[in-house]
Amino acid sequence: MTGEEYIDRADESLDAAYEAPMSLAEYVDTVLETPQVAAHASKYLLDAIEAAGTRTVIEEGEEKERYRFFDDPHNDGEHAILGNTEVLNAFVDDLRSIAAGRGKDEKIIWLEGPTATGKSELKRCLINGLREYSKTPAGRRYTVEWNVAGAGGSATSLTYGNAAVEDEDDWYESPVQAHPLTVFPDDVRTDLLAEVNERLDDHIPIRVDGQLDPFSREAYDFLEEQYRRQGETDLFSAVTQPAHLRVKNFVVDVGHGIGILHSEDEGTPKERLVGSWMHGMLRELDSRGRKNPQAFSYDGVLSQGNGLLTVVEDAAQHADLLQKLLNVPDESHVKLDKGIGMDVDTQLIIISNPDLEAQLNKHADREGQDPLKALKRRLDKHEFTYLTNLSLEAQLLRRELTNETEVWDPESWEELETWIQEPLTISVRDEVESATDKELAPHTVESAALYAVVSRLDSAEIPTGLDLVDKALLFDRGYLMEGDERVDIDDYDLETTAEDGDHGIPVTYVRDIIADLLHEPQDRHHPDLPVEHVLMPRDVLNAVAEGLEDAPVFSTGEATEYEERVVTVKNYIFGQQEQDVLDAMMRDKRVDEATVEEYIEHVYAWESDDQIENERGELVDPDPLKMKVFEIEHLGRFDEKNYDGNEPDHAVEQFRTDKIITALNRHAWQRRDEEFRVGDVNPKEIPVINTVLGSYDWDDIQRTYEDFEPGQWDNPPSGTETARLKEKTLDNMVELFDYTPASAELTSRHVMSQVSYRWD
């Protein structure tokens, strides 16, 4: 694109976000046509979240509907909140109750959790989402502008400064985003809203309470007085005529509908809440013996967030302010000064680490005399926890190490598993600013993420026969494979406890460990190998575990507990690497999908004791020999002694009935309203086919490669079967699983070192 074309695109973007100012009457017509644009703060926030839609996710082993808004879709996922879907859904439920006025109006939403759990991401996600929603036709947000220059023949101007101005410079926007409908008298507004809500396709009616903000009220009163002196009878029409009042849309942003109070912000409670007086201005303005709202800064958090959202970040730093907020939600009012108050329409959210709760409970032993009891009653707490899903933690870790922002939304567990296990390449600069690409081998990110998740799980609530890795896998995909059987999480006596995700190894600690490893010389980890720039799973797991004792973030007890849990993770990851090597060694022996489908057709025909028609319209007779060959050679479950000639014994018959036919019948039942053909079945939907065909063991290797010697793997003699098999295996690892030649060499050596001593 040319520079001019980029300028044109920028023009189009702004044109889509802004409208020309309109009269008050035109705005009312707009509201009657599109009622949602007049929504009060909590309803607008709810509308923005719901407008993004939902998607289905699995967390803690359960399917849940997740609002896409929290994936930060408008910002390509940069500040997506990973996990904590139940917490976010409860947050939205609270918004719905507050918006509808169902008993939670006085509540301040409190989001609490340890560091690195996504609370700050929520703040950024809200800012991004509301900003972009306000640019859409359905999400337009409006306020008012005033022009009093020359009203009633007077030269007096309403201004933030001391200079009289003309034309467009004479227009001044409400500094606190006043809702246009607050211009109307109460009785008229009530009737107008009744008509608006009749047209609203929503069960939550729009509420516009309160009066004009002090700045706008000063303009209104000035204009009204001028026209009353002139004898004007239609005062409201005169005051709100397009020459004095116009309605404009604005793009929501920090300071403009969103107020953010940061931990480092200072000032008196009044300054932090609403702003401060500019004393020099009071002498310049005609305030008739009183303070003039024109001389107020309106830079406090409630002023900036009026009309939509107010967030107090790191609330423990502003604990003194929280008590000042007590009556804001239920009274919707705050004072600028003793004689001047401001009605507020904003959704209050406070964000904190657990240290705020400690401050709030410092008088808990006084029970009924607790001075903070009223504040605690108004706080509606939602607790963010550490992630307990492997896939989410792997995604988060990749984000921490790179600039990846895309939110994973897989269509199947198999696709998600591939993303979890895939390698990662990171460019690292050394002291002389030369860049080197370093590889995190396949399963390395997976191993670090799994270790972090395992450290966060409650070890006291695990069914007999399972370990913490099994629990982590159940939470992530919702099932385990026990032999050929898929066992869902509901079949285990396993429930999420309050301890799950409450503490553990944070992602920031793991990220820093990996960052340090990336800058270390490679020969520290693999001094005997001619390969460079590869981090293996065991490198990361060892470093994470070894660093626990010296990391100040962990207590001695926590460090000891987490260090002990690394063993199960190492065992699982080794199993994953071992399966990669086995699959690569046996790639040429893998049965093709057409052979699998043919076997399934013959088994179905055998069970039917008749011909069947396959998806190609061909009639299939059961062939005992083909089934026998498949079951012996490919499935490896039986041998010649299980057959009398080609006729199967009871064990084979039971296998065909229980493992193959049952799966086919289940699929047929699911498609009972459609025409069912055996060829419609995906072989992967039959557990025994999916599991056994994709998994090999060392007996298969020994049977297939009789002269193979794993002890020779590091430097196999040329011309031997071991040398040929190694070359083929490494090539297959690169092609099948995205290993590099270096990481394939390292992984296969590690696996063979464990296999060789027990080979015989």
The string of DSSP letters for 385-404 reads -----HHHHHHHHHHHHS--
Average pLDDT of the segment spanning 330-348: 88
* Eight-class DSSP state of 535: E
446 has pLDDT over 90: yes
626 located within any domain = yes
Coil/strand/helix, residue 286: coil
CB contact set of 219 (below 8 Å; sequence gap of 6+): 146, 148, 158, 172, 244
Average pLDDT of the segment spanning 90-108: 86
Phi and psi based region of residue 254 (left: phi greater than 0; alpha: psi -120 to 50; beta: remaining)? beta
At 677 the pLDDT is 54
| Best CA proximity match to 128, nearest among 91, 178, 92, 77 | 77
At 362 the pLDDT is 72
Q: Is the dihedral of CA 527, 529, 534, 537 positive or negative?
A: negative
377 has pLDDT over 50: yes
Q: Both 395 and 362 in a single domain?
A: no
Of 382, 415, 444, which residue constitutes the final position of a domain?
Answer: 382
581 located within any domain = no
Output the average pLDDT for the chain: 85
Task: Give the Cα separation of 518 and 445 in Å (integer).
Answer: 13
At 58 the pLDDT is 86
At 162 the pLDDT is 40
CA distances from 500 to 206, 562, 733 (A): 40, 14, 36
Q: Both 441 and 552 in a single domain?
A: yes
Q: Binning pLDDT at 50, 70 and 90, where does residue 527 land?
A: low
Task: Give the Cα separation of 589 and 569 in Å (integer).
Answer: 30
At 480 the pLDDT is 87
Contact 125, 80 (CB under 8 A): yes
Average pLDDT of the segment spanning 45-69: 92
Q: Assign residue 76 the CATH number of its domain.
A: 3.40.50.300
Phi and psi, residue 674, nearest 5°: -125, 170
Phi and psi, residue 647, nearest 5°: -85, 130
Average pLDDT of the segment spanning 220-230: 90
Phi and psi based region of residue 636 (left: phi greater than 0; alpha: psi -120 to 50; beta: remaining)? left
At 293 the pLDDT is 86
| Best CA proximity match to 740, nearest among 522, 532, 541, 520 | 532
Q: Say if strands 619-620 and 612-613 run parallel, antiparallel, or are unpaired.
A: antiparallel
670 has pLDDT over 50: no
At 285 the pLDDT is 64
At 307 the pLDDT is 93
Average pLDDT of the segment spanning 451-474: 91
Neighbours of 7 (CB within 10 A): 10
Q: Binning pLDDT at 50, 70 and 90, where does residue 693 land?
A: low
170 has pLDDT over 60: yes
CA distances from 363 to 109, 112, 374 (A): 22, 20, 12
Q: Is the dihedral of CA 58, 60, 66, 71 positive or negative?
A: negative
Q: Strands, E, within 292-374: which ranges?
A: 309-312, 333-337, 340-343, 347-352
Q: Both 425 and 476 in a single domain?
A: yes
At 60 the pLDDT is 82
Q: Both 438 and 374 in a single domain?
A: no
Task: Give the Cα separation of 242 and 259 in Å (integer).
Answer: 30
368 has pLDDT over 90: no
329 has pLDDT over 50: yes
* Eight-class DSSP state of 197: H
Helices (H), 245-322: 269-273, 279-284, 301-305, 319-322
Domain of residue 312, residue span: 24-150+167-382
CA distances from 26 to 48, 240, 245, 540, 704 (A): 24, 12, 12, 64, 82
At 136 the pLDDT is 92
Contact 602, 627 (CB under 8 A): yes
Task: Give the Cα separation of 331 and 209 in Å (integer).
Answer: 10
156 has pLDDT over 50: no
Full-prediction pTM beyond 0.85? no
Contact 423, 746 (CB under 8 A): no
At 62 the pLDDT is 84
Contact 125, 79 (CB under 8 A): yes
At 155 the pLDDT is 41
158 located within any domain = no
Q: Both 307 and 411 in a single domain?
A: no
Phi and psi, residue 494, nearest 5°: -130, 125
Q: Both 115 and 210 in a single domain?
A: yes
529 has pLDDT over 80: no
71 located within any domain = yes
Q: Which residues pair with 377 in a beta bridge?
A: none
At 205 the pLDDT is 94
Q: Binning pLDDT at 50, 70 and 90, where does residue 253 land?
A: very high
As a whole-number percent, the residues of the chain with pLDDT over 90 amount to 49
Q: Both 50 and 198 in a single domain?
A: yes
Helices (H), 175-300: 186-199, 214-229, 235-239, 269-273, 279-284
Task: Give the Cα separation of 145 and 170 in Å (integer).
Answer: 10
- Least confident residue range of 268-277, 323-332, 440-449, 523-532: 523-532
Q: Both 293 and 405 in a single domain?
A: no
5 located within any domain = no
CB contact set of 604 (below 8 Å; sequence gap of 6+): 612, 660, 661, 664, 678
CB contact set of 186 (below 8 Å; sequence gap of 6+): none
Q: Can you give 610-677 as a three-state secondary structure string?
A: CCEECCCCCEECCCHHHHHHHHHHHCCCCCHHHEECCEECHHHHHHHHHHHHHHHHHHHHHCCCCCCC
Q: Both 187 and 222 in a single domain?
A: yes
Give the model confidence (pLDDT) of 394-425 as tens digits.
999 999 999 888 888 888 888 889 999 999 98
Contact 509, 553 (CB under 8 A): yes
7 has pLDDT over 70: no
Number of domains in the chain: 3
609 located within any domain = yes
9 located within any domain = no
Kindly calculate the radius of gyration of the chain based on its CA atoms and give it in whole angstroms: 34
Contact 276, 337 (CB under 8 A): no
In terms of Cβ atoms closer than 10 Å to its own Cβ (0-12, 13-18, 19+), residue 56 is: exposed
Q: Both 419 and 471 in a single domain?
A: yes
Of 533, 566, 599, which residue constitutes the final position of a domain?
Answer: 566
Task: Give the Cα separation of 591 and 630 in Å (integer).
Answer: 9
Q: Both 633 and 721 in a single domain?
A: yes
33 has pLDDT over 90: yes
Task: Give the Cα separation of 59 and 472 in Å (integer).
Answer: 10
In terms of Cβ atoms closer than 10 Å to its own Cβ (0-12, 13-18, 19+), residue 359 is: middle
Of 349, 382, 415, which residue constitutes the final position of a domain?
Answer: 382
Average pLDDT of the segment spanning 80-85: 92
At 14 the pLDDT is 56
As a whole-number percent, the residues of the chain with pLDDT over 70 amount to 85
CA distances from 163 to 256, 571, 692 (A): 25, 76, 83
Coil/strand/helix, residue 488: strand
- Least confident residue range of 335-339, 501-505, 546-550: 335-339
Q: Binning pLDDT at 50, 70 and 90, where does residue 166 land?
A: low
Q: Both 356 and 451 in a single domain?
A: no
- The two structure tokens encoding residue 667: 């699929």
Counted residue by residue, the chain has a size of 760
Coil/strand/helix, residue 238: helix
Contact 309, 109 (CB under 8 A): no
459 located within any domain = yes
At 363 the pLDDT is 67
Average pLDDT of the segment spanning 188-201: 93
| Best CA proximity match to 288, nearest among 218, 362, 355, 367 | 218
Average pLDDT of the segment spanning 656-660: 84
Average pLDDT of the segment spanning 175-198: 94
Neighbours of 374 (CB within 10 A): 11
12 has pLDDT over 70: no
Task: Give the Cα separation of 607 and 301 in Å (integer).
Answer: 73
Q: Is the dihedral of CA 390, 395, 396, 401 positive or negative?
A: positive
At 676 the pLDDT is 47
| Best CA proximity match to 421, nearest among 402, 443, 395, 447 | 443
Higher pLDDT, 381 or 615: 381
CB contact set of 759 (below 8 Å; sequence gap of 6+): 698, 702, 709, 710, 711
Average pLDDT of the segment spanning 689-705: 73
Neighbours of 607 (CB within 10 A): 17
The amino acid at residue 501 is G
At 545 the pLDDT is 96
At 695 the pLDDT is 67
- Least confident residue range of 38-42, 383-387, 498-502: 498-502
Average pLDDT of the segment spanning 252-265: 92
